[in-house]
Amino acid sequence: MGRTTVEPGPDYVIRAYRDSDAERLSDVEKRAAQLFAVHGYPDIAEAPATRVEDFDAIASQNRIFVAVHAQEGPAGFAIAGPVSSFLHLLELSVAPEHGRRGLGGALLAAVVEASRAQGLEGVSLSTFRTLPFNGPFYARHGFVELPLEEAPEALKERFFAEIPPGVAAQSRFLMLRRNTKI
């Protein structure tokens, strides 16, 4: 079913968001978005990052997990909130200089574990089908496509709300990783 636990490199830990993370997370988000320009989505790369002052409000409604480098501080983060009976991944961002070190997988594993701890059905997300750091990445971690016609109404609504301006709905899809009963 894909990876369940992923450990980041020895210089990193995954922990809950702190107010002092906001400035760095806004910067990480902006730099991570630059990958979209390379893959044909310059408007996403140019969109403003989440404002520093908005992170506390986001954290009050959602879970934010932060990947922290021992010397450099926050290097990536995941935001997830409840939608229907799932914990929905709203964002996963890793600073480019910290990429390819297992941080995305470790953050994703933290979200999966949180959904289990909350007794939810699993983790849902909407993403680009073909971008290597989107659909294929999540598939390697046990996520499968959830056809829109089979999705709960709340997930359908979330899917359409998350489509960036100017992006065709067909280039994106819902994915789901159900929690297994132990």
Structure confidence at residue 151 (pLDDT): 96
Consecutive 10-residue averages of pLDDT for the chain (182 residues): 59 96 97 92 92 96 97 97 97 94 95 97 94 89 96 97 93 95 62
Would you tell me which CATH number, out of the four given (3.40.50.20, 2.60.40.10, 2.40.50.140, 3.40.630.30), belongs to the domain 12-178? 3.40.630.30
How much is the pLDDT for 1? 43
Q: How many CA atoms lie within 13 A of 40 on its CB side?
A: 8
**3-state secondary structure string, the chain?**
CCCCCCCCCCCEEEEECCHHHHHHHHHHHHHHCHHHHHCCCHHHHHCCCCCHHHHHHHHHHCEEEEEEECCCEEEEEEEEEEECCEEEEEEEEECHHHCCCCHHHHHHHHHHHHHHHCCCCEEEEEEECCCCCCHHHHHHCCCEECCHHHCCHHHHHHHHHCCCCCCCHHHEEEEEEECCCC
What is each CA distance from 145 to 22, 94, 138, in whole angstroms?
A: 32, 23, 10
